[in-house]
Amino acid sequence: MSEFQAQANLRGKVAVITGAGRGIGRAIARACADAGAAVVCSARTIAEVQEKSRMIEAAGGRSAAVAADVCDYPATEALFAAAADQFGGIDIVVANAGVSLESRKVEHSDPLLWKQTVEVNLVGVFNTARAAIPHLRRRGAGKMILIGSGSRHRPNPGMSSYASSELGTWMLTQTLAVELQSANISVNELIPGPVRTAMTGFGEKFAPEGE
Ligand SMILES: NC(=O)c1ccc[n+]([C@@H]2O[C@H](COP(=O)([O-])OP(=O)(O)OC[C@H]3O[C@@H](n4cnc5c(N)ncnc54)[C@H](OP(=O)(O)O)[C@@H]3O)[C@@H](O)[C@H]2O)c1
């Protein structure tokens, strides 16, 4: 039993994880399921989240897979509605979906990729939080974890879109924390150290849990 499993007891809780098809989100989905939560795995690639969801169920957990693009607000709302319908409510939200689409200095950057990075990493996190809040309020309490990046306070040449979006997400985290405190909903940013995933160039299907 891992240290996390020994300490955490999420039995009876329902967690929605965005970007759960690969990498860090996939590992978080597994950890939540190991700790007893019903886990809704979401990303755009349905085959990947279905696979993760099936693995959770095969290990005795409860899970569902829902395809949603966090840049699409109605689709994100539908994700949370489906999760609440299936499991009776939502307690935990992990806004993990993110992209790093280019590594070029501003003067050579592709304006469309720059915008797309901010759309996923910042607007997507806003959409996730916005769609989740009514469900967490209905429960009378909740946890929202926004996956951030240390890049938000380190100016790295070529990483302007990623770093700028992550800095925005940090301010969004702090604002949400203050706005939702009275509703008993805690909001925290979690910054992983460097992890070998598809985003960091370790292949399409790399999962840190070693699957
Ligand atoms: N890896 C690191 O070293 C590191 C360090 C610090 C922070 N982070 C952060 O950790 C998070 C996960 O990164 P990772 O390295 O695990 O990346 P990854 O392996 O590339 O996985 C990203 C996940 O997000 C999903 N996703 C991407 N765009 C999406 C969208 N528009 N809507 C819904 N889902 C979307 C992807 O699935 P689809 O493409 O199928 O949608 C995938 O499941 C990111 O927010 C990243 O910024 C990573």
Q: What is the CATH number of the domain that holds 158?
A: 3.40.50.720
Q: Is the CB of 147 under 6 A from ligand 1?
A: yes
- Do strands 38-43 and 63-67 pair parallel, antiparallel, or not at all (unpaired)? parallel
Residues in the chain, total: 211
What pLDDT was estimated at residue 2? 53
Please determine, for residue 95, whether its predicted confidence score (pLDDT) is greater than 70: yes
Ligand 1 center to 209 CA (angstroms): 15
Please, are residues 114 and 35 in contact by the beta-carbon 8 Å criterion? no
Q: Whose CA is nearest to atom 17 of ligand 1?
A: 199
- What percent of the chain is modeled with pLDDT above 90? 90
Q: Is residue 210 part of a domain?
A: no
What pLDDT was estimated at residue 135? 98
What pLDDT was estimated at residue 201? 86
CA–CA separation, 64 vs 42, rounded Å?
Answer: 9
- Mean pLDDT of the 113-133 span: 98
Q: Is residue 211 part of a domain?
A: no
Active site members = 162
Q: Is residue 195 part of a domain?
A: no
> Among 69-73, 112-116, 204-208, whose mean pLDDT is lowest?
204-208
Closest CA to 37 of 187, 140, 180, 142: 142
Q: Is residue 200 part of a domain?
A: no
Ligand 1 mutation target, pool 16, 17, 24, 128, most atoms within 8 A of CB: 24
Closest atom, ligand 1, to C-alpha of 119: 31
- Mean pLDDT of the 93-118 span: 97
3-class DSSP state for residue 154? coil
**Domain count of the chain?**
1
Residues in contact with 40: Cβ distance below 8 Å, sequence separation at least 6, in sequence order: 14, 15, 16, 17, 63, 64, 65, 66, 79, 82, 83, 86, 87
Q: Is residue 39 part of a domain?
A: yes
- Mean pLDDT of the 13-34 span: 98
Q: Is the CB of 34 under 6 A from ligand 1?
A: no
* Residue-number span of the structural domain to which 185 is assigned: 3-190
AA identity, residue 141 = A
Q: Which residue has the higher pLDDT, 16 or 208?
A: 16
pLDDT band at 28 (very low <50, low <70, confident <90, very high): very high
- Mean pLDDT of the 1-27 span: 84
Please determine, for residue 14, whether its predicted confidence score (pLDDT) is greater than 90: yes
Q: Is residue 127 part of a domain?
A: yes
Please, are residues 209 and 195 in contact by the beta-carbon 8 Å criterion? no
Ligand 1 center to 12 CA (angstroms): 27
Please determine, for residue 35, whether its predicted confidence score (pLDDT) is greater than 90: yes
Tell me the whole-structure pTM to 2 decimals: 0.95
Average pLDDT, the chain: 94
Q: Is residue 197 part of a domain?
A: no
What pLDDT was estimated at residue 204? 56
Closest atom, ligand 1, to C-alpha of 151: 6
- Mean pLDDT of the 34-42 span: 98
Q: Is residue 202 part of a domain?
A: no
What pLDDT was estimated at residue 202? 82
Ligand 1 center to 99 CA (angstroms): 5
CA–CA separation, 123 vs 78, rounded Å?
Answer: 17
Classify residue 83 by burial, with Cβ atoms within 10 Å: 0-12, 13-18, 19+: buried
Predicted confidence (pLDDT) per residue in 134-150, tens digit = 999 999 999 999 999 99
Please, are residues 119 and 47 in contact by the beta-carbon 8 Å criterion? no
Token pair recorded at residue 57? 């169920």
Q: Whose CA is nearest to atom 6 of ligand 1?
A: 149
Q: Is the CB of 174 under 6 A from ligand 1?
A: no
- What percent of the chain is modeled with pLDDT above 70? 92
